[in-house]
């Protein structure tokens, strides 16, 4: 979302390349805009960066980018794409993805809301919270556009309010906690 690239760069610049986690980036993309997000993020991470294709399995130490004109969910460890309905005035791709993440990953889910306008993500983080997952929200004063972080903070379910460069330390600690407490599905 608005200001999201800068926030993502700050996050990935301080994130280790080998955490055992997968990162799915859900942006608000103009249908006619050719995103250079993969090239821009590659300057800040050594993780593999993928433009999502329907049915793509989620692998650790990878970054996944939603393509334009698509909505995305995760189910059974795979990213599933559908065409975005052209007649829908209001699209909430982040809420849509977070809901599926909560159902698919439960307590292993982590939802991060970064800089942006509007309130997308604020409904979906409730699902992640209710599933026992971790909810991290960019501290609004550290965001270029504070609408999404403020809306997410106002839900009262954020576990942490952090600047993007502070997030990796908590992600790594959370990943260790999850490995110790929640067995992965076989």
Structure tokens at 31: 């249908």
Distance CA 174, CA 179 (A): 9
Q: Which two tokens stand for residue 162?
A: 């952090």
1 is catalytic: yes
Count CB-CB contacts under 10 A for residue 78: 14
Both tokens assigned to 59: 């692998």
Does residue 96 carry a catalytic annotation?
A: no
Judge contact between 167 and 12, C-beta under 8 A: no
| Strand duo 56-57 + 78-83: pairing | antiparallel
Cβ atoms of residues 9 and 44 within 8 Å: yes
Give phi and psi for 56, each to the nearest 5. Answer: -65, 130
Residue at token pair 């994130």: 15
Closest CA to 140 of 114, 159, 110: 114
Is 120 annotated in the active site?
Answer: yes
Inter-residue contact 94 to 124 (CB < 8 Å): yes
* Annotated catalytic residue within 95, 120, 127, 146: 120
User: Active-site residue among 28, 104, 142, 146?
Assistant: 28
List the catalytic residues. Answer: 1, 28, 120
């Amino acid at each position: 979302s608005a200001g999201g690239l800068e926030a993502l760069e700050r996050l990935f610049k301080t994130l280790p390349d080998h955490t055992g986690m997968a990162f799915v980036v859900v942006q608000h993309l103009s249908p006619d805009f050719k995103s250079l997000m993969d090239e821009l993020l590659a300057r800040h991470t050594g993780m593999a960066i993928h433009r999502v294709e329907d049915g793509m399995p989620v692998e650790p130490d990878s970054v996944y980018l939603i393509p334009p004109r698509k909505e995305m969910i995760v189910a059974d460890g795979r990213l599933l794409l559908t065409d975005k309905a052209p007649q829908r005035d209001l699209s909430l791709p982040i809420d849509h993805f977070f809901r599926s993440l909560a159902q698919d990953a439960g307590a292993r889910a982590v939802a991060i809301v970064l800089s942006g306008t509007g309130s997308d993500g604020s409904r979906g983080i409730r699902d992640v919270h209710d599933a026992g997952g971790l909810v991290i929200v960019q501290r609004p004063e550290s965001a270029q556009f504070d609408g999404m972080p403020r809306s997410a903070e106002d839900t009262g379910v954020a576990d942490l309010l952090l600047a993007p460069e502070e997030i990796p330390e908590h992600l790594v600690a959370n990943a260790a906690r999850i490995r110790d407490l929640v067995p992965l599905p076989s």
